[in-house]
Amino acid sequence: MEKELSKNKEAFLALLGESADIKKKTMQLGLKRDIGCFIAYVEVTGGSFLFENSVVGKLLNRFLCMSKREIMESLSKNALGISDMTTFDTVEEAADAMFTGDVILFVDGFDKALKIPDKGYPAMMVQEPASEKVIRGSREGFVDSIKVNTALIRKRLRTPKLKVKEARVGTRSNTNVDLVYMEDLVYPSLLEEVERRIGKYEIDGVLDSGVIEQLSEEKWYSPFPQFQTTQRPDRAAMAVLEGRIVVLVDNSPTGLILPADYNSFIKTSDDYYNRWEIASFGRLIRYIASFFAMTIPGLYLAVTNFHTQILPTTLLLSFAAAREGVPFPAVVEVLLMEIAFELLREAGVRLPGAMGNTIGIVGGLIIGQAAVEANIVSPIVVIVVAFTALCSFAIPNEEFATAFRLLKFGFIALCAWLGFYGFLYGLLLLLVHLSHLKSFGIPYLMPFVGADLNGYEDERDSLIRQPLFWMRRRPVYAKRNQRIRLRRKDADVFKK
Amino acid sequence: MQMFSKNNKISKRQMFRLLTYDLLGIGTLLLPAALARHAGKNGMAAIGIGIVAGALYCLFSGWVISFMKEGETYPDFLKRRLGTFFGTAALVFYVLYYICLGGYSTYIFGHLMVTDLLKEQSFYWIVGGILLLAAYGIFQGIEGRARIYEILFWFLMAPLFIMLFLAAKDIELPRLFPLYAEPFSSAAVGGYFCFEMFSLGGFAFFLAPFAKKKDAVRGALLAAVVFSGLVLFAIYLILQGIFGTEAMRALEYPAVSLMSMVQIPGGFLERQDAIMVAVWFFTVFALLSSSMFYAAESLKAFTKGKKEKLFIVLSAAAFFGIAVCSYRSADFTNWLHDVFLFAATPLVVLIPLVVGVCAKFGRTGKRAARCVALLCLFLTLSGCSTSELENRKFPLAMGVDAREGGCLISYKFQDLSAIADQNASAPDGTDFFIEDRDFFTGISKYANDTNKLLDYNHMKALVLSEDFFEEEESLIGFLQVCGKESLIARNTLLFLAEDAAEILALDENLDTAIGSYLEEMMESREDYQLKDAVTLGDLYNDLANQEQLLLIPVLAEEGGLPIIRSYYALSCGAAKGEIGVQEAALSYLSQNKLRTLSFSLDEQNAVRINRIKAKGRFVGGKKPVYRSSIRLEAVVEKELDTGSGAGEALRRQIKTLFERQMKQSAENLLTAPGIDLTNSYYKLGLYGGGMYKTYQDDPEGYLSDLQLEFEAEVILLNERG
């Protein structure tokens, strides 16, 4: 650290690079305004300097009433009168301190940087997201403010290599859109492509990240989302560490992660917080659920109307007995129940919290029971539809689950028409579609296909989540020469 | 943006899986029956020859590919090496070959679906739909196509391997032997058939420019050939061990038939052939889709890479045309197959050979190669409806009786209202009778007389009257109708009775449907296992193979319940009449199929024998002498004084009695109806050595020359205590 402010400032800025969420300000202090100072902090961690209620505000106001000599004395002897103040001899230490949520102050003529604790990272106002609930892991979720959201990611990744690039989108809304990424991990071509796609359209207003998502996806007709959405900062931080980009939009609590693939939609945050056995088991269950959420009603129709030989005789006869007296063909029966279920779901979502839950129970139990007793549907179909619904709820990402809910109707139609052949046809069609689908150049079926791109390392985190110490390499999204994320060190990290 | 993918390059693993799918589908579907017809028991040797030839072809292909420039397409390579005229001629061949191959595989796909999955659906819809899907897939490029098979690979292979593993336990060794009874030429012919399949590896030439590393093509192709060859070998081994060569010849798609017979432990699936058809759905689709891709690739070369999509559509249309022609005319299908066999397969080898020679030896070689190419060209020139569940009836048992001028078919259905409501009163309509001039007319009549569809998929038991069974014409007609489109599952239990309708009428006395009752009766028998019970499939196999003794249980009524009164013997395909239950038990005992047996020792005491181990071998020279060595544990009721040697005397008494009884029963049966109780003729191929040739086609002569010997080793369990 030098005594000259300009040199310190230059070194500090060179270390930080450009990042939209870091606020920097040069000011003049002292009675004669003859002492230059430089303040830097992560946005939202510092209070307003104009107001007396913030530590930095008070301090700066006090410095305006002091002479140069008094200021220097206060800096060197009185620790600015703040008990929690720390001084640093290098800009690296100062940057680390800033990322912990404190304000860094450089003063001309003083060869140390000062850490001033102020508001710190947001915590109290942040609530657990309504979706993406986890058993183990952070309870923080994104909020409507983009500044808070970037700070929530920054809080988890305290490195100057984390960059936030900001743009304004929407000719009338002028909405802030941030790209959060790790400078040394992300492919520059990916970053360019994201920027290009966001700037591709001129739109009057961007009121949610969903608008950006729809305008930027490659295959508009695909039911599968090509962006992963998240309301969890830890999930977003995890994606950034993998070399992916997080897109945050102001006034939206949902961040977009890209590139995305089938596997990434099935993963949850606590897959990495829990032990590998249970994480793998949960993941397998979710994979199976994603398959059944789409196929069970269709398979039921195929088996009962076309290929009865598959089922054990007693089960088949039970099915047949249950259908006695039902006036509708099985396909109509299934469609009736599926539509009833979708109605219940829609009603449950739109109604206020407690009422939403009630409608689910009322619908599920009473209407189901009444429909069976009135011989409108058979009990087996109620079980089939309920099981399908359970499976769709087990898919951790809502947008991804929606794709299966829609495809389910396609499978119902194909299986009702062509039986198991229709099922296979649908499966093949889906596979052909998925095998061609890409999210920013990444095959959607990674790492089950094209895993050779990363020496088959990505397969360690697919159907089975292998023990963490085996997952040494970052996924294929990260730059080729930056793929090592875990190595043995054997260092005493607590040693000062 | 071409950041990670869309570089039209595929990895070695993708290439291996793609080629494996191309090779495996049609090969495992059609080759077993073809090998059974042309190579018989030499089928496995034929597959071995095919694998070796295929592996050599891979090495050769790798050698030819090594002359291709990086990124150079095969059509360009052909033109560069053979010159424009011969290169174009070769390309024309490839276009025709791939269009014929694609058309043929489309036909096989459609036929398989119409035969095994959707019996009453339109062939044209199925074929049209799948071609559209294939075209859509190809529009997206090779990467996407490779990804489909990369991801599908283990999803299909794992169930296939599990099913093969489960099926393997039912292999009967005598059906596999002797290995070299037929001349080597049959193995060579079979080997050529196999090579025809492996020659599809010629796709690799077109695949080479898409490989990330050109050198990887050879390795991927070799691995695909060896892998699919081994799968084919395993399938053939199991098929032959279960069906026998003769029965396999009669089957259209033996591998699919096999899937209908495999029982998954736990019984949560009744039959899984419909599910396992998925293996061939995807593999045959892979072949037709590859053919479309390579046909379009070849056609593209004529327009310098333009109009690719148009060529894909044209190829699809051509496939459709060929598939329809094949579907409508069996002669066309046969002709098409002959073209593949005698013209296309040699050319698929010769053209790359010529190109390879040209590449290796330059201009001189080029001239020679052109001559060969010209010669090749001349050679070539010579050369399911849907029905709702409640609209179906599920007969759990069916009886067929002979009637004057026709037959009587009786069905017993499950009472569904009793399942829905246990307290429901006895329903009507749980049985149905049809009398007509023959079985086929009879079952067709049912559909006209009722508004229900008969679904035979869950039929447990088939009871035929002895009159009907003995009348050859009726029986053959019946079996043909049943076999057509797999009307009745091969694993349906088979029984005979004096009057089948009467046996089915006993349903009224039972608390469960008679079909289920008969199945449970066979399952719960202590003396032998359900897997040894006779099924309709056994009857098919035995009538086709004519090499073993089949004992069909004959049912009668006793105390209002059905019981097994006797067994009807079918020896080497010939009806021999009834034998007693005790004789049948001895027969099962000598074949190691019996778990326990009781017989009287003297007037007061009975002996129960357990843990029976029977072994048989031929001990004679020129005439067959078959010695059965039986080891058994015996338990007698009376108490033994172990110190006085009474135990040893009793053991000897049991041994003598047992041997005498075996010999007496065996000789009686051999003399009078001509039944070999030990079923030794069946094992002649496995253990008989030179005698097999003598009696191969003369089972009656064998039975008249046969001498049977029995030796028993008795362990008396009472003695130990």
Picking from B3, B150, B417, the nearest residue to A187 by CB comes out as: B3
Q: How far is A478 from chain B (nearest CA, A)?
A: 11
Q: What's the confidence (pLDDT) of residue B640? A: 59
Q: What's the confidence (pLDDT) of residue B426? A: 45
Mean pLDDT of B494-500: 92
Percent of chain A with pLDDT over 90: 41
Mean pLDDT of B23-44: 89
- In this structure, the answer to whether residues A309 and A417 fall within a common structural domain is yes
Check A322 against B420: CB less than 8 A apart: yes
- Among A131-140, A176-185, B354-363, which stretch is predicted with the lowest mean pLDDT? B354-363
A179 assigned to some structural domain: yes
Q: Which of B133, B283, B390, B460 to mutate to test the interface with A (most CBs of A within 10 A)?
A: B390
A9 assigned to some structural domain: yes
- In this structure, the answer to whether residues A422 and A364 fall within a common structural domain is yes
Q: Which residues contact B292 (CB under 8 A, 6 or more apart)?
A: B98, B102, B131, B134, B135, B138, B312, B315, B316, B319
Asked if A373 is an interface residue toward chain B (Cβ–Cβ < 8 A), one would say no
Q: Would you say residue B422 has pLDDT above 70? A: no
Q: How far is A383 from chain B (nearest CA, A)?
A: 16
The nearest alpha carbon in chain B to A429 belongs to: B133
Percent of chain B with pLDDT over 70: 90
The nearest alpha carbon in chain B to A190 belongs to: B3
Which residues of A fall within a CB distance of 8 Å from B278? 420, 424
Mean pLDDT of B666-687: 85
Task: Give the range of the structural domain holding residue A96, as residue numbers without chain letter.
Answer: 5-116
Residue that is written with structure tokens 């977009």 in the block: A256
Q: How far is A30 from chain B (nearest CA, A)?
A: 54
Check B126 against A421: CB less than 8 A apart: yes
Instruction: Report A:172-201 residues touching B (Cβ under 8 A).
Output: 187, 189-190, 193
Q: How confident is the model at residue B644 (pLDDT cuts 50, 70, 90)?
A: low
Which is more confident, B287 or B385?
B287
Asked if A287 is an interface residue toward chain B (Cβ–Cβ < 8 A), one would say no
Q: How far is A182 from chain B (nearest CA, A)?
A: 18
Instruction: Report A:427-486 residues touching B (Cβ under 8 A).
Output: 428-429, 431-432, 435-436, 438, 440-443, 445, 448-450, 452-453, 476
- In this structure, the answer to whether residues A299 and A429 fall within a common structural domain is yes
Asked if B427 is an interface residue toward chain A (Cβ–Cβ < 8 A), one would say no
Domain boundary at A443, A460, A481, which? Answer: A443
A168 assigned to some structural domain: yes
Instruction: Report B:535-564 residues touching A (Cβ under 8 A).
Output: none
Task: Sort B187 into a burial class: Cβ within 10 Å, 0-12 / 13-18 / 19+.
Answer: buried
Domain boundary at A443, A465, A486, which? Answer: A443
Which residues of B fall within a CB distance of 8 Å from A313? 270, 394, 396, 414, 458, 460, 516
Check B1 against A441: CB less than 8 A apart: yes
Instruction: Report A:132-151 residues touching B (Cβ under 8 A).
Output: none
A217 assigned to some structural domain: yes
Instruction: Report A:299-338 residues touching B (Cβ under 8 A).
Output: 304-313, 316-324, 326, 329-330
Q: Which of B140, B280, B389, B422 to mutate to test the interface with A (most CBs of A within 10 A)?
A: B389
Element (H, E) at B636: strand B625-636
Residue that is written with structure tokens 């490029």 in the block: B141
Q: Which residues contact A437 (CB under 8 A, 6 or more apart)?
A: A219, A222, A224, A226, A443, A444, A445
Q: Would you say residue B382 has pLDDT above 50? A: no
Provide the number of CB pairs (under 8 Å) joining chain A to chain B.
177
Q: Would you say residue B423 has pLDDT above 70? A: no
A125 assigned to some structural domain: no
Q: How far is B287 from chain A (nearest CA, A)?
A: 14
A20 assigned to some structural domain: yes
Task: Give B141-150 pLDDT, tens digit per residue.
Answer: 888 888 899 8
Mean pLDDT of B220-246: 92
Which is more confident, A236 or B596?
A236
- In this structure, the answer to whether residues A100 and A167 fall within a common structural domain is no
Q: Would you say residue B537 has pLDDT above 50? A: yes
- In this structure, the answer to whether residues A358 and A422 fall within a common structural domain is yes
Q: What's the confidence (pLDDT) of residue B365? A: 54
Picking from A308, A432, A440, the nearest residue to B136 by CB comes out as: A432
Task: Sort B294 into a burial class: Cβ within 10 Å, 0-12 / 13-18 / 19+.
Answer: buried
Check B416 against A317: CB less than 8 A apart: yes
Which residues of A fall within a CB distance of 8 Å from B293? none
Task: Give A237-294 pLDDT, tens digit per residue.
Answer: 999 999 999 999 999 999 999 999 999 999 998 899 999 999 999 999 999 999 999 9
What is the DSSP annotation of B428-491?
A: S-SEEEEEESSHHHHHHHHHHHSS-EE-GGG--EEEEEHHHHH-HHHHHHHHHHHHGGGSS-TT
Check B388 against A452: CB less than 8 A apart: no
Check B386 against A306: CB less than 8 A apart: yes
Check A305 against B144: CB less than 8 A apart: no
**What mean pLDDT, rounded, does chain B reach?**
84
From CA B22, how far away is CA B24, in angstroms rounded? 6
ipTM comes to 0.77
A461 assigned to some structural domain: no
Q: How confident is the model at residue B482 (pLDDT cuts 50, 70, 90)?
A: confident
Task: Give B315-369 pLDDT, tens digit per residue.
Answer: 999 999 999 999 999 889 988 988 888 889 999 888 988 888 888 876 555 566 5
Task: Give A458-483 pLDDT, tens digit per residue.
Answer: 889 988 999 988 988 999 899 988 88
Q: How confident is the model at residue A65 (pLDDT cuts 50, 70, 90)?
A: confident
From CA B85, how far away is CA A354, in angstroms rounded? 80
- In this structure, the answer to whether residues A229 and A329 fall within a common structural domain is no
3-class secondary structure per residue, chain A:
CCCCHHHHHHHHHHHHCCCCCEEEEEEEECCCCCEEEEEEEECCCCCCCCCCCCHHHHHHHHHCCCCHHHHHHHHHHCHHHCCCCEEECCHHHHHHHHHCCCEEEEECCCCCEEEECCCCCCCCCCCCCCCCCCCCCCCCCCCCCHHHHHHHHHHHCCCCCEEEEEEEECCCCCEEEEEEEECCCCCHHHHHHHHHHHCCCCCCCCCCHHHHHHHHCCCCCCCCCCCEEECCHHHHHHHHHCCCEEEEECCCCCEEEECCCHHHHHCCHHHCCCCHHHHHHHHHHHHHHHHHHHHHHHHHHHHHHCCHHHCCHHHHHHHHHHHCCCCCCHHHHHHHHHHHHHHHHHHHHHCCHHHHHHHHHHHHHHHHHHHHHCCCCCHHHHHHHHHHHHHHHHCCCHHHHHHHHHHHHHHHHHHHHHHHHHHHHHHHHHHHHHHHCEECCEECCCCCCCHHHHCCCHHHECCCECCHHHCCECCCCCCHHHCECCCCCCCCCCCC
Q: Would you say residue A48 has pLDDT above 70? A: no
Q: What's the confidence (pLDDT) of residue A123? A: 63
Check B269 against A312: CB less than 8 A apart: yes
Mean pLDDT of B398-408: 84
Q: What's the confidence (pLDDT) of residue B384? A: 47
Q: What's the confidence (pLDDT) of residue B424? A: 47
> For chain A, how many structural domains are there in total?
3
Asked if B525 is an interface residue toward chain A (Cβ–Cβ < 8 A), one would say no
Check A420 against B117: CB less than 8 A apart: yes
Q: What is the dihedral of CA A50, A56, A60, A62, to 10 degrees?
A: 100
From CA A448, how far away is CA A463, in angstroms rounded? 9
Contact B631, B612 (CB under 8 A): yes
Mean pLDDT of B281-285: 93
- Among A107-121, A289-303, A415-429, which stretch is predicted with the lowest mean pLDDT? A107-121
- In this structure, the answer to whether residues A352 and A427 fall within a common structural domain is yes
Check A308 against B390: CB less than 8 A apart: no
Residue that is written with structure tokens 């809080």 in the block: A155
Q: What's the confidence (pLDDT) of residue B69? A: 85
Nearest to A248 by CA among A332, A328, A164: A164
Q: Would you say residue B383 has pLDDT above 50? A: no
Check A320 against B390: CB less than 8 A apart: yes
Q: How confident is the model at residue B425 (pLDDT cuts 50, 70, 90)?
A: very low
- In this structure, the answer to whether residues A382 and A356 fall within a common structural domain is yes
Picking from B133, B145, B389, the nearest residue to A429 by CB comes out as: B133
Q: How confident is the model at residue B115 (pLDDT cuts 50, 70, 90)?
A: confident
A270 assigned to some structural domain: no
Q: Would you say residue B102 has pLDDT above 80? A: yes
Q: What's the confidence (pLDDT) of residue A45? A: 79
- Could you tell me the two tokens for B527? 């003396």
Q: Which of A418, A434, A459, A463 to mutate to test the interface with B (most CBs of B within 10 A)?
A: A418
Nearest to B479 by CA among B404, B542, B549, B432: B542
- Among A426-435, A485-494, B5-14, B224-233, which stretch is predicted with the lowest mean pLDDT? B5-14
Instruction: Report B:314-373 residues touching A (Cβ under 8 A).
Output: none
Q: What's the confidence (pLDDT) of residue B635? A: 85
Task: Give A189-218 pLDDT, tens digit per residue.
Answer: 999 999 999 999 899 999 999 999 999 988
Q: Which of B2, B119, B288, B388 to mutate to test the interface with A (most CBs of A within 10 A)?
A: B388
- In this structure, the answer to whether residues A233 and A347 fall within a common structural domain is no
- In this structure, the answer to whether residues A296 and A421 fall within a common structural domain is yes
Q: How confident is the model at residue A53 (pLDDT cuts 50, 70, 90)?
A: low
- In this structure, the answer to whether residues A249 and A323 fall within a common structural domain is no
- In this structure, the answer to whether residues A237 and A319 fall within a common structural domain is no
Picking from A418, A419, A432, the nearest residue to B148 by CB comes out as: A432
Nearest to B618 by CA among B672, B695, B549: B695
